[in-house]
Amino acid sequence: MKHRMKSTLAGALSLAALCAASPALADTTIEFQRFFGACDAEFGTNTDVSKAVGECGIITSLVNAFEAENPDIKVNVTTVEWPGYDQLTAQFAAGDPPDVVTIHQSVLGDYASKNLLMPLNDLLASEGISADSFTKASLTGVTRDGKIYGLPIDNWSQLWHIDMALFKEAGLVNPDGTPILPTSVDELMSQAAQFQEKTGKTYMTMPLSNETAAYTRDFYTYLQQQGSDFFGDPTKINIETPEAKNVLEMYKELYDKGYIIKDVDYGASLNAFLAGDAGVHEGGTWVIGDYNAESEKDGTALNKGGYEVYTYPQLFDGPRSQYADGHSLAVSNVKRSDEDTAAIGKFLKFMFDHDYDWSRTGHLPAVQAVLDSDQFKALPHRATVLDLAQIGTPLPGAVQRQFAIQDIIGQEMNAAMTGQKSVDDALKDMQDRVNDLLANI
């Protein structure tokens, strides 16, 4: 944070004259680094958050609105390519980290364990924010060893986004108009075959190329649904198991039988769903707002029969569960003035107060009062995903290097699905690589 000291001009030019001649400078600048993309052309000057749509539009408009309400504080935004942790690590190493940064709750421990993040208990309390204001899931996600290391702004997970026009064409709709979802792996394959026979379209799409995150989130979800305690010891993973083999064999069958669109990256997978080329998109909470907006436009694929979204179907005989994470705003642990720290506190309080606005992205609110509010529940499609608040399960907070682990698991899962490795070899390599990583932290 750079504190800008006011100065006076000597001689005939008074401070009053200077202020009249040019706009006043902000007293304090917060260096804010975030992902969520860039959208300045559409929202760069927007301060009406209610008019913003999507993660980028809403976060951009929130910063604009904060500056408008606090003209003495400038927020200097740096937008990084998701997830931005290589850059953040380099900034810490160089001694020049941002003041506030967006961090996944799963990653907080990596930085907090090295004393790089400021514990926020006292700062949040000074702004009237108590720990019990947050949902259990979000508070757990930002807490390490009893200290809060980030302001939680949401919890998120993968979801089943459904093109109802195609599901109706496939005969996969209940009498009440809701989609028929599979309740076992056998039903999943049967419904996929029926869908493709009736519609001529592919049953499912998800990013399979240049991607690791989606694979890993699905892998964790279906391990959890089998009650697998694969990180019972947070220092090593145990996945050379029947439960892990079940998951990889299920996705390999989807791939081999052509029930999932092949060779698409993240953007192409979204576009395939928007174009009506697949019945199910396995994607995150963050696209609910965009997909709902698309479903309300005449002439779009999602407008033909409607759009619905659900948590993942329960395919295994175990606890109702699915993997979840969350976004948070962390503060770098560097020496700064009381005034600078207070400005950061104001910024965090503003984001806390606008948790409903952020929840319009599709993410679940981090603030319990927002989650419980009629205003939030009235948003489109929230009723069918609210159970995430109960079933969403992150990895144990003590597991380090979770994004690096995600890359390993995603790479090996892709190798198994596409036939580059056998399922058994992929699981062995997956376990060995993860445990080598964790052994050398």
351 pLDDT higher than 70: yes
Query: What are the tens digits of pLDDT across the range 180-221?
Result: 999 999 999 999 999 999 999 999 999 999 999 999 999 999
Residue 328 in tokens: 């948070």
Task: Tell me: do 282 and 426 sit in the same domain.
Answer: yes
Domain count, the chain: 2
Q: State whether 378 and 410 are in the same domain.
A: no
Q: How many Å is the Cα radius of gyration of the chain?
A: 24
Q: Report the C-alpha gap between 411 and 213 in whole angstroms.
A: 10
Whole-angstrom distance, CA of residue 280 vs CA of residue 197: 15
Amino acid 27: pLDDT: 85
Q: Hey, what are 406's tokens?
A: 């995600």
Both 263 and 229 in one domain: the answer is yes
pLDDT, one tens digit per residue, over 310-330 is 999 999 999 999 999 999 999
Give the integer Cα–Cα distance in Å for 312 and 323.
10
Average pLDDT over residues 127-144: 95
CA distance 191 to 180: 9
Q: How much of the chain is in helix, strand and coil states, percent to nearest 5?
A: 45, 15, 40
Residue 12 has pLDDT above 80, yes or no: no
Mean pLDDT, range 265-282, rounded to an integer: 98
Which residue in this structure is represented by tokens 């207070």? 342
End-to-end CA distance of the chain: 30
What is the average pLDDT across 414-428?
98
Q: What is the spatial distance between Cα 50 and Cα 341, in angstroms, rounded to a whole number? A: 29
Same domain, 187 and 214: yes
In a shared domain, residues 45 and 99: yes
Specify if 1 maps to a domain.
no
Q: Which domain holds residue 312?
A: 157-324+400-439
- 4 confidence band (pLDDT: 50, 70, 90): very low
Residue 169: closest CA among 143, 132, 128, 198:
198
Q: What is the pLDDT of residues 160-174, one digit of tens each?
A: 999 999 999 999 999
CATH number, domain with residue 289? 3.40.190.10
Listed residue (291, 276, 268, 300) closest to 361, CA to CA: 291
- Whether residues 335 and 274 share a domain: the answer is no
Last residue in a domain, options 350, 370, 389: 389
Task: Give mean pLDDT, residues 59-66.
Answer: 98
Buried/exposed 398-427: b ≥16 CB within 10 Å, e otherwise:
ebbbbbbbbbbbbbbbbbbbeeebebeebb
Q: What percent of the chain has pLDDT over 70?
A: 94
Strand 100-104 and strand 28-34: the pairing is parallel
User: CB of 145 within 8 A of CB of 349?
Assistant: no
180 and 215 within one domain = yes
Question: Taken in order 76, 78, 83, 87, is the CA torsion positive or negative?
Answer: negative
Mean of pLDDT over the chain: 93
| Residue 107 included in any domain | yes
State how far the Cα of 134 lies from the Cα of 117, in Å rounded to an integer.
20
User: Which tokens hold the place of 380?
Assistant: 């489109």
- The span from the CA of 370 to the CA of 386, in Å, is 12
Does 18 reside within a domain? no
Contact by Cβ (8 Å): 431, 240: yes
Same domain, 306 and 330: no
Domain assignment of residue 337, yes or no: yes
Residue 8 has pLDDT above 90, yes or no: no
Whether the predicted pLDDT of 17 surpasses 60: no
Residue 394 located in a structural domain: no
Say if residue 23 is preceded by a cis peptide, omega within 30 of 0: no
CA pair distance 149, 429, nearest whole angstrom: 33
- Strand pairing of 143-144 and 307-310? unpaired
Cβ of 189: how many Cβ atoms within 10 Å? 17
Tell me whether residue 290 is exposed, middle or buried, using C-beta atoms within 10 angstroms of its C-beta: 0 to 12, 13 to 18, 19 or more. Answer: middle
State mean pLDDT over 278-293. Answer: 94
Q: Is residue 256 part of a domain?
A: yes
Q: What are the structure tokens assigned to 423, written together?
A: 């399922």
What's the confidence (pLDDT) of residue 2?
A: 43
Write down which residue in 389, 413, 430 finishes a domain.
389
Whole-structure pTM over 0.85, yes or no? yes
Strand ranges, E, within 47-153? 73-79, 100-104, 143-144, 147-148, 151-152
Give domain status of residue 143, yes or no: yes
319 plus 330 within the same structural domain: no
Distances (CA, A) of 144 to 217, 349, 366, 369, 400: 22, 21, 17, 23, 12
Q: Which residue has the tokens 């195609």?
A: 166
Strand partners, 31: 76
- Phi then psi for residue 148, to 5 deg, are -90, 120
CB 167 within 8 A of CB 192: no
Are 308 and 337 found together in one domain? no
Residues 166 and 134 in one domain: no
Residue 134: pLDDT over 90: yes
pLDDT given at position 26: 63
Q: How does strand 322-325 pair with strand 392-393? A: parallel
Q: Is residue 7 part of a domain?
A: no
**Are residues 135 and 271 located together in one domain of the fold?**
no
